[in-house]
Amino acid sequence: MSLAAPCAPTPADAHGALAIEMAGESLTLLPEKAAYLSARQTLLVADAHLGKAVSYRHLGVPVPSGTTEQGLATLDVLVARLGARRIVFLGDLLHSVHARSAATLAAVQAWRHAHAQLQLTLVRGNHDERAGDPPADWDVEVVDEPLHIGPWALCHHPQHLEGAQVLAGHLHPCVTLRGRGRDRLRLPCFWQREGITVLPAFGAFTGMHAVRRVPSERVYAIAGHEVVDATLA
Protein backbone atom coordinates (compact mmCIF):
# COMPACT_ATOMS: atom_id res chain seq x y z
CA MET A 1 0.00 0.00 0.00
CA SER A 2 1.39 3.39 -0.90
CA LEU A 3 1.28 6.18 1.64
CA ALA A 4 -1.15 8.91 0.67
CA ALA A 5 0.20 12.45 0.55
CA PRO A 6 -1.46 15.19 2.61
CA CYS A 7 -4.68 16.17 0.88
CA ALA A 8 -7.16 19.02 0.94
CA PRO A 9 -10.28 18.67 3.12
CA THR A 10 -13.93 19.03 2.28
CA PRO A 11 -15.62 22.22 3.57
CA ALA A 12 -16.35 22.41 7.30
CA ASP A 13 -19.69 20.93 8.34
CA ALA A 14 -22.31 22.48 10.62
CA HIS A 15 -20.27 21.50 13.68
CA GLY A 16 -17.04 23.02 12.37
CA ALA A 17 -15.43 19.68 11.47
CA LEU A 18 -13.36 18.93 8.37
CA ALA A 19 -13.32 15.58 6.57
CA ILE A 20 -10.16 14.43 4.78
CA GLU A 21 -10.02 11.46 2.42
CA MET A 22 -6.98 9.28 3.08
CA ALA A 23 -6.17 5.67 2.23
CA GLY A 24 -9.66 5.20 0.82
CA GLU A 25 -11.39 6.28 4.03
CA SER A 26 -12.59 9.49 5.63
CA LEU A 27 -10.84 11.04 8.63
CA THR A 28 -12.88 13.81 10.25
CA LEU A 29 -10.97 16.48 12.18
CA LEU A 30 -13.07 17.80 15.05
CA PRO A 31 -12.85 21.23 16.71
CA GLU A 32 -13.10 19.44 20.06
CA LYS A 33 -9.45 18.37 19.44
CA ALA A 34 -10.26 14.80 18.42
CA ALA A 35 -10.76 12.89 15.17
CA TYR A 36 -13.28 10.39 13.87
CA LEU A 37 -13.08 7.39 11.56
CA SER A 38 -16.67 7.29 10.35
CA ALA A 39 -16.37 4.01 8.44
CA ARG A 40 -15.28 2.35 11.70
CA GLN A 41 -17.43 4.39 14.11
CA THR A 42 -14.24 5.07 16.04
CA LEU A 43 -13.41 8.27 17.91
CA LEU A 44 -9.72 9.06 18.31
CA VAL A 45 -8.49 11.03 21.32
CA ALA A 46 -4.82 11.86 21.90
CA ASP A 47 -3.27 13.02 25.16
CA ALA A 48 -6.36 13.26 27.36
CA HIS A 49 -4.15 13.62 30.46
CA LEU A 50 -7.05 12.95 32.81
CA GLY A 51 -6.26 14.14 36.32
CA LYS A 52 -3.60 16.61 35.23
CA ALA A 53 -5.11 19.44 37.27
CA VAL A 54 -5.17 17.38 40.46
CA SER A 55 -1.58 16.30 39.72
CA TYR A 56 -0.59 19.97 39.53
CA ARG A 57 -2.41 20.75 42.78
CA HIS A 58 -0.56 17.87 44.41
CA LEU A 59 2.62 19.74 43.52
CA GLY A 60 1.26 22.97 44.97
CA VAL A 61 0.32 24.63 41.68
CA PRO A 62 -3.05 26.45 42.08
CA VAL A 63 -5.00 25.42 38.98
CA PRO A 64 -8.80 25.18 38.64
CA SER A 65 -10.62 21.93 39.35
CA GLY A 66 -13.17 20.24 37.12
CA THR A 67 -11.02 19.70 34.04
CA THR A 68 -11.56 15.93 34.04
CA GLU A 69 -15.33 16.41 34.20
CA GLN A 70 -15.13 18.91 31.33
CA GLY A 71 -13.22 16.43 29.20
CA LEU A 72 -15.69 13.66 29.94
CA ALA A 73 -18.58 15.98 29.10
CA THR A 74 -16.97 16.70 25.73
CA LEU A 75 -16.71 12.97 25.08
CA ASP A 76 -20.42 12.69 25.92
CA VAL A 77 -21.23 15.25 23.25
CA LEU A 78 -19.03 13.65 20.60
CA VAL A 79 -20.25 10.10 21.20
CA ALA A 80 -23.88 11.22 20.97
CA ARG A 81 -23.37 13.41 17.91
CA LEU A 82 -21.22 10.99 15.92
CA GLY A 83 -22.76 7.70 16.97
CA ALA A 84 -19.33 6.37 17.94
CA ARG A 85 -19.14 2.78 19.10
CA ARG A 86 -15.46 2.83 20.05
CA ILE A 87 -12.96 5.30 21.48
CA VAL A 88 -9.25 4.75 20.98
CA PHE A 89 -7.05 6.86 23.23
CA LEU A 90 -3.74 7.53 21.50
CA GLY A 91 -1.65 7.49 24.65
CA ASP A 92 -1.41 9.48 27.88
CA LEU A 93 -4.88 8.76 29.20
CA LEU A 94 -3.88 9.53 32.80
CA HIS A 95 -1.38 12.28 33.46
CA SER A 96 0.51 10.74 36.39
CA VAL A 97 0.19 8.44 39.37
CA HIS A 98 -1.14 11.44 41.31
CA ALA A 99 -4.05 11.60 38.84
CA ARG A 100 -5.51 8.57 40.58
CA SER A 101 -7.33 10.71 43.13
CA ALA A 102 -10.65 9.53 44.53
CA ALA A 103 -12.48 12.29 42.67
CA THR A 104 -10.87 11.51 39.30
CA LEU A 105 -11.42 7.77 39.63
CA ALA A 106 -15.04 8.26 40.66
CA ALA A 107 -15.76 10.68 37.80
CA VAL A 108 -14.34 8.36 35.16
CA GLN A 109 -16.01 5.30 36.64
CA ALA A 110 -19.40 7.06 36.61
CA TRP A 111 -18.83 8.11 33.01
CA ARG A 112 -17.83 4.58 32.07
CA HIS A 113 -20.95 3.16 33.71
CA ALA A 114 -23.06 5.54 31.62
CA HIS A 115 -21.29 4.35 28.45
CA ALA A 116 -20.99 0.65 29.15
CA GLN A 117 -21.72 -0.16 25.49
CA LEU A 118 -18.61 1.70 24.25
CA GLN A 119 -15.47 -0.23 23.43
CA LEU A 120 -12.50 1.61 24.94
CA THR A 121 -8.90 1.03 23.88
CA LEU A 122 -5.73 2.70 25.14
CA VAL A 123 -2.57 2.68 23.04
CA ARG A 124 0.06 3.18 25.74
CA GLY A 125 2.04 6.42 25.76
CA ASN A 126 4.95 7.68 27.82
CA HIS A 127 2.75 9.05 30.62
CA ASP A 128 0.89 5.74 30.82
CA GLU A 129 4.16 4.02 31.66
CA ARG A 130 4.42 6.19 34.79
CA ALA A 131 0.72 6.46 35.66
CA GLY A 132 0.06 2.76 35.09
CA ASP A 133 -2.75 1.10 33.19
CA PRO A 134 -6.33 2.22 33.87
CA PRO A 135 -8.21 0.54 36.74
CA ALA A 136 -9.78 -2.76 35.75
CA ASP A 137 -13.31 -1.49 36.40
CA TRP A 138 -12.90 1.07 33.61
CA ASP A 139 -12.95 -1.90 31.20
CA VAL A 140 -10.30 -0.46 28.87
CA GLU A 141 -8.37 -2.68 26.47
CA VAL A 142 -4.69 -1.69 26.74
CA VAL A 143 -2.22 -2.31 23.91
CA ASP A 144 1.23 -1.20 22.83
CA GLU A 145 1.72 0.81 19.67
CA PRO A 146 1.02 0.38 16.84
CA LEU A 147 -2.60 -0.72 16.79
CA HIS A 148 -3.49 -1.60 13.19
CA ILE A 149 -7.06 -0.93 12.04
CA GLY A 150 -7.47 -1.32 8.29
CA PRO A 151 -5.10 1.14 6.56
CA TRP A 152 -4.43 2.96 9.83
CA ALA A 153 -1.71 2.49 12.44
CA LEU A 154 -2.78 4.07 15.71
CA CYS A 155 0.18 5.18 17.80
CA HIS A 156 1.17 7.56 20.55
CA HIS A 157 4.52 8.56 19.09
CA PRO A 158 4.55 9.90 15.51
CA GLN A 159 6.54 7.52 13.33
CA HIS A 160 6.70 6.22 9.78
CA LEU A 161 5.37 2.69 9.40
CA GLU A 162 5.60 0.94 6.06
CA GLY A 163 2.25 0.41 4.39
CA ALA A 164 0.14 2.33 6.91
CA GLN A 165 -1.24 5.77 7.59
CA VAL A 166 -0.15 6.66 11.11
CA LEU A 167 -2.43 8.58 13.47
CA ALA A 168 -0.62 9.72 16.60
CA GLY A 169 -0.38 12.27 19.41
CA HIS A 170 2.43 13.06 21.88
CA LEU A 171 3.62 16.33 20.31
CA HIS A 172 0.66 18.58 21.25
CA PRO A 173 1.07 20.49 17.96
CA CYS A 174 0.08 24.11 17.49
CA VAL A 175 0.45 26.69 14.76
CA THR A 176 1.25 30.39 15.14
CA LEU A 177 -0.89 32.74 13.08
CA ARG A 178 0.52 36.21 12.55
CA GLY A 179 -1.61 39.31 12.25
CA ARG A 180 -0.68 42.90 11.74
CA GLY A 181 2.40 44.21 13.46
CA ARG A 182 3.52 41.91 16.24
CA ASP A 183 0.14 40.26 16.81
CA ARG A 184 0.41 36.49 17.06
CA LEU A 185 -2.05 33.78 17.96
CA ARG A 186 -1.14 30.20 18.89
CA LEU A 187 -3.80 27.63 18.09
CA PRO A 188 -3.85 23.85 18.59
CA CYS A 189 -3.75 22.04 15.27
CA PHE A 190 -3.73 18.80 13.32
CA TRP A 191 -0.36 18.37 11.60
CA GLN A 192 -0.42 16.24 8.45
CA ARG A 193 2.78 14.93 6.93
CA GLU A 194 3.52 12.16 4.44
CA GLY A 195 2.10 9.04 6.07
CA ILE A 196 1.52 10.67 9.49
CA THR A 197 -1.24 12.79 10.99
CA VAL A 198 -0.59 14.19 14.48
CA LEU A 199 -3.63 15.08 16.59
CA PRO A 200 -3.73 17.99 19.04
CA ALA A 201 -3.81 17.27 22.75
CA PHE A 202 -7.38 16.70 23.95
CA GLY A 203 -6.79 17.46 27.61
CA ALA A 204 -6.71 20.75 29.47
CA PHE A 205 -3.49 22.31 30.82
CA THR A 206 -1.40 20.61 28.14
CA GLY A 207 1.45 22.61 26.69
CA MET A 208 1.72 23.08 22.94
CA HIS A 209 4.62 22.55 20.53
CA ALA A 210 4.85 24.81 17.49
CA VAL A 211 5.17 22.80 14.29
CA ARG A 212 7.83 23.56 11.70
CA ARG A 213 6.27 22.95 8.34
CA VAL A 214 7.70 22.13 4.96
CA PRO A 215 5.79 22.82 1.72
CA SER A 216 4.49 19.25 1.38
CA GLU A 217 2.74 19.34 4.79
CA ARG A 218 -0.67 20.63 5.81
CA VAL A 219 -1.80 22.20 9.07
CA TYR A 220 -5.41 22.46 10.23
CA ALA A 221 -5.91 24.88 13.12
CA ILE A 222 -8.70 24.83 15.66
CA ALA A 223 -10.06 28.36 15.63
CA GLY A 224 -12.79 28.51 18.23
CA HIS A 225 -15.50 26.08 17.15
CA GLU A 226 -14.14 25.37 13.69
CA VAL A 227 -11.24 23.52 12.08
CA VAL A 228 -9.64 25.67 9.38
CA ASP A 229 -6.90 25.02 6.86
CA ALA A 230 -3.95 27.10 8.09
CA THR A 231 -1.40 25.63 5.70
CA LEU A 232 -0.69 28.94 4.00
CA ALA A 233 -1.15 31.15 7.08
Asked if residue 25 is part of any domain, the answer here is yes
State what percent of residues in the chain have pLDDT above 90: 62
Domain that holds residue 80: 18-229
Mean pLDDT of 1-14: 60
- By the 8 A CB rule, do 150 and 177 touch? no
Total number of domains in the chain:
1
| Bond into 146 cis (ω within 30) | yes
CATH number at residue 108: 3.60.21
CB 171 within 8 A of CB 15: no
211 within some domain:
yes
In a domain, 73, yes or no: yes
Q: Is residue 1 part of a domain?
A: no
**In this predicted model, what pLDDT tens digit does every residue of 35-71 receive, in sequence order?**
999 999 999 999 998 875 555 444 444 444 557 888 9
The answer to whether the beta carbons of residues 36 and 44 sit under 8 Å apart is yes
Task: Label the pairing between strands 184-193 and 173-178.
Answer: antiparallel
Is residue 214 in a domain? yes
Interval 174-232: pLDDT, tens = 998 876 666 678 899 999 999 999 999 998 767 788 988 788 899 999 998 999 999 87
Residue 219, in any domain of the structure:
yes
In the predicted model, what is the mean pLDDT of residues 137-144? 96
Structure confidence at residue 63 (pLDDT): 46
- Whether residue 140 is contained in a domain is answered as yes
φ/ψ region of 170 (left if φ > 0, alpha if ψ in -120 to 50, else beta) reads left
Query: pTM value?
Result: 0.89
